[in-house]
Amino acid sequence: MPDFGALLRGRPRLRAAVLSQEAVLLLALLALLLVVGLINERYVAERNLMSIALAHAYIAVAAIGMSMVIITGNIDISVGSLIGVLAAVCGTLANMGLPIGLAWLLPILLAIVISGSLGVLVAYCRIPSIVASLGYLSILKGGLIIWTGGAWITDLPENFGLALQRWGGVPAPIWAMLILTALAAYWMRNSRTGRAFYAIGGNAEAARLAGIPTQRMVVLVFMLNGLFAGIAGILFATQLKVIQTTVPPYLELTIITAAVVGGVSILGGTGTVIGSTLAAVLLAAIGSALIFIDVSPFWLRATYGTLILVTVLFDLHRRRLQQRAS
């Protein structure tokens, strides 16, 4: 064994990069591909790799917004239901004969309004985000059942399938995931607002005293969450020829798992959207791996649950070490 410790000593930036959550996730992903690929080489066939990335592209997009919300120290457990509602709205609008661009765009605007109102409840009415979004979850989920009665939306227009399109051989959702992750990562790192999100999550009172309009920022972060959930909703709606108007079970949990496993600290203040996207892909890779190594897919959720718990414990441990060091 080469002495990695010595290699890293005195090189703080290298050390930080190697020990970052993103690097850990990338290594985990590569290790998974290598090990399962050795057991069954069809796992690493281009076809399967593409389907892994495709399967969770919309989860990754939603996890960008969720990461921002969690970075400010809040949470939104209503996004799963929101995505279900948006998919139904999108399909209904398209079937009403609206121009297809509008059918894609209007649900996104609706999502921004809905999530923004949730942000108002959290920021101005002081309802904890977990409770407010629990309320929204049931209003959206129940509303969807009342509205559609659970019927599928079929006979969609020919050009409806945005998520089925391929640009340069790569499916559109993967483009969306890559581009949005890059943009959001740059914006979170360099914009004044992005830094403000980190500041609020780190210490809301200090952020307020430093002149950050914390309440407005919280509403804004929920609106952004709506934007990404909206895009995710459209990608989700347009991936098949029909839309099932039920909320995918535990979708919000998968999205939150991606954000948390991606290194977004549940206590707020740290984490990146690159991490959450890597984690979303890793989760899909785990799901696919279970099939290839012949483990029942019914164990998938238990795997996710364990992963989220381990990551949180690791994060808390790391924070305590940092506190002791400083």
Partner 1 sequence: MKLISGSHVHEKILALMLIIALTVLSMLTDKFMTVANILNQGRLIAEIGLVALPMTLIIVTGGIDLAVGSVLGLCAIVLGLAWKSLGLPLGAAMAVAVAVGALAGCFNGLLITRMRVPPLITTLATLALFRGVAEGLSQARSVRGYPEWFFFLGQGEIAGIPVQVIILVAMTVLFWFLLAKTTLGRSLYAIGSNEVAARYSGIAVDRVKVLAYGLSGLMAGLAAVIFVSRVSTTRSDMGTGLELDVIAAVVLGGTSIFGGRGTIVGTILGFLLIGLLKNGLALTGVKGDATIVVIGLVLILAILASNLVERLRDG
The site for partner 1 (CB under 8 A) is made up of 75, 77, 121, 125-128, 130-132, 134-139, 141-143, 145-146, 149, 249-250, 253, 256-257, 260, 266-267, 296, 298-306, 308-309, 312-313, 316
Tokens of 164: 């089925």
The CB-of-133 to partner 1 minimum distance in angstroms stands at: 10
Query: Of 88, 211, 95, 210, which is closest to residue 160 (Cα–Cα)?
Result: 95
Pairwise CA distance, residues 144 & 89, whole Å: 10
The CB-of-210 to partner 1 minimum distance in angstroms stands at: 25
SS3 153: strand
Could you tell me which residues come within 8 angstroms of residue 269 by beta carbon, excluding any fewer than 6 positions away? 71, 73, 198, 201, 202, 203
The CB-of-148 to partner 1 minimum distance in angstroms stands at: 11
Which CB atom, from 92 or from 193, has the smaller least distance to partner 1?
A: 92
SS3 203: coil
Which CB atom, from 6 or from 302, has the smaller least distance to partner 1?
A: 302
Which CB atom, from 101 or from 143, has the smaller least distance to partner 1?
A: 143
Q: What is the CA radius of gyration of the chain?
A: 20
HEC profile of 151-206: CCECCCCHHHCHHHCEECCEEHHHHHHHHHHHHHHHHHHHCHHHHHHHHHHHCHHH
Which CB atom, from 39 or from 145, has the smaller least distance to partner 1?
A: 145
The CB-of-95 to partner 1 minimum distance in angstroms stands at: 22
The CB-of-12 to partner 1 minimum distance in angstroms stands at: 28
Number of H helices and E strands in the chain, helices first, is 15, 2
Which CB atom, from 103 or from 286, has the smaller least distance to partner 1?
A: 286
Residues 139, 239 contacting (CB under 8 angstroms): no
Which CB atom, from 101 or from 150, has the smaller least distance to partner 1?
A: 150
Please give the DSSP secondary-structure letter assigned to residue 243: B
Pairwise CA distance, residues 285 & 279, whole Å: 9
Which CB atom, from 186 or from 250, has the smaller least distance to partner 1?
A: 250
**Which amino acid would we find at residue 137?**
L
Pairwise CA distance, residues 97 & 147, whole Å: 19
Tokens of 211: 């002149």
The CB-of-137 to partner 1 minimum distance in angstroms stands at: 7
The CB-of-13 to partner 1 minimum distance in angstroms stands at: 30
